[in-house]
Amino acid sequence: MITKIWAHRGASSQAPENTLAAFDLAIRLGADGIELDVHLTADKVVVVTHDESCRRVAGEDGRIGDMTLSELRQLDFGRIKPGFTRQPIPTLADVFDLIRPSGLTINIELKNSINLYPGLEQQVLDLAAEGGMLDRICLSSFNHYSMAAARQIIKERTLAIPCGLLYSSLIYHPWDYARKLDVTAIHPMYNSLLIPGLVGHCREAGIAINVWTIDLPEHLSAAIGMNPDAIITNVPDQALTIRRQQTERDREDLCSH
């Protein structure tokens, strides 16, 4: 199995994070998937941005959950990359329209650990159904209650959408924890790869492991060598190059034997 490369908030080292420009660049760079973050606006539209506030990425005060889509559309979410063209906040439906022809996977992180956004799981799944993307998404969240709720909806609808538990600490036997919650994946911070046998234990338990966020070449090389299911990175172009180089070396080693 070849480790997939997922562009974190799109190709966010070169384009404004979580914008259509960043996602389009990820497609053009050849990423296997993208990772993005979703919130609910005051008028209950699922929008794509990372923070609960507009301050860091758009340079304006205001909280996503307190503003309507129309109000948010007046802001420039491309300002985080000086000199970049104006970027309106995308809706999740906008991203589906962009990504649909590409074949990429979309890892949708539900940003419901601070604002709980009741019903966000249902809305995301409804949008995926309407957009013909049910076989192209996976869900993740630091809110593990949310992932348990999403799994329940998915099972009731007899769907096969993966749900992943995001976490940054070192969880004891996370593969067992994932099975207890009846989810299909873990999304640990990259330092979890230091746990001996983590990838192997997950494989044996039938749990996918998608690791975030790895950017340094030496870390990318080490992580790809451990062969998790996916690596989430801000530099998908570099990660793809390292993966290709390691694959070629492995092929040469096999031929030499």
8 HSE (CA, 13 A, CB side)? 17
Catalytic residue among 8, 39, 187, 219: 8
Q: What are phi and psi of 162, to 5 degrees?
A: -65, 145
Closest CA to 3 of 235, 244, 248, 228: 228
Closest CA to 35 of 182, 187, 218, 242: 187
Q: By the 8 A CB rule, do 183 and 148 touch? A: yes
Closest CA to 92 of 144, 131, 63, 59: 131
- Is residue 257 part of the annotated active site? The answer reads no
What residue type is 164 in one-letter code? G
**Rounded to an integer, what distance in angstroms lies between the CA atom of residue 98 and that of residue 188?**
28
Catalytic residue among 39, 50, 187, 219: 50
- Is residue 8 part of the annotated active site? The answer reads yes
| Active site amino acids | 8, 50
